[in-house]
Chain A
C-alpha cells in the first residue's frame, strides 16, 4: 500500500524558534496533501490543503503566516511553524492523495509529528 512518511517524528524546541516538518509520499505521487493538527484527547482538525505547485488553502482560523506550507514537488510537502509558542504544541499529521480522479480518493496518512514548544 501507499506509504507516507513524516520527519521528524518528535521535536522539542524553544519558544520563538521555527520548526519545519516534512511530509513525503514514498511510493506514489501526491497531487494533494493535507495538514492536520490534533490536541490531546481531541479529533484531528484540518489546517490546510496543499496542491503541488500552488498556494495552500487554509481553513478558517488557521494563520497562514504562522503555518507556512510548501508543496514543491509531487512527493514532498513541508509545514513550517514560525515563531512557535507553547500553545502550538500538538500532534501534526499530514496525508496525501492521488487525484482527483473518478471514484473514491483515499487519503494516506503519515505517522505524525509530536511538537513540544518549551
Chain B
C-alpha cells in the first residue's frame, strides 16, 4: 500500500489560514489525492480531491506539488468548527473499485 505521512497534530488560531501538509511519495499516476475530515464521534466528511492541478471549493483549497508526491490542504479562514482529524492520501479513481484507506491523520485544533 502507498505510504502517507501527516503531522500528528497542528494548532491554528481562529480566523487564520490552516495549512495541513501531506506526503504521498508513492502515489501512482492514476490515483487522486483526497482529503476527508472527521469531527469527534461522527463519520468522515469529504473535503476535496485533486489529480494534478490545484483545486478549490467552498470548503478548502488543495495545492499539489508538480511531482505529486505531496500536497497541502488550506482552510483559508479556520473556525472553531474546523477542529477535527484530517486525513489525506492517494485513492484510485476511474473504473477502479479502489479502497479508501486512512492513515493516522492530523488532529487540527482551532483555538480562539
Interface set of A (CB-CB < 8 Å, partner B): 4, 6, 32, 34, 36, 43-46, 49, 51, 91, 93, 95, 99-112, 114
Contact = CB atoms under 8 A, between A and B. Distances in A.
Given A34-B100, A95-B100, A104-B32, A109 B95 contact: no
Contact of B91 (A6, A36, A91, A104): A104
Nearest to B46: A106
Interface string B8-47: 0000000000000000000000001010101001111110
Given A103-B93, A105-B93, A46 B101 contact: yes
A92 B58 CA distance: 29
A110 B45 CA distance: 9
5 contacts: A91-B41, A93-B43, A100-B96, A109-B36, A109-B44
A40 to B, nearest CB: 10
B43 A104 contact: no
A93 B41 CA distance: 10
A18 B46 CA distance: 32
Interface string B81-103: 00001010001011111111111
Contacts of B45: 109
A51 B98 CA distance: 12
A108 B101 contact: no
A111 B42 contact: yes
Interface string B41-67: 111111001010000000000000000
Contact of A112 (B41, B85, B93, B96): B41
Interface residues on B, range: 20 to 34
B100 A43 contact: no
A46 B99 contact: yes
Contacts of B96: 100, 105
B87 A43 contact: yes
Contacts of B46: 106-109
Given A49-B99, A102-B93, A103-B93, 11 more contacts: A32-B97, A34-B100, A93-B43, A95-B44, A102-B94, A104-B32, A104-B49, A106-B49, A108-B46, A109-B36, A111-B43
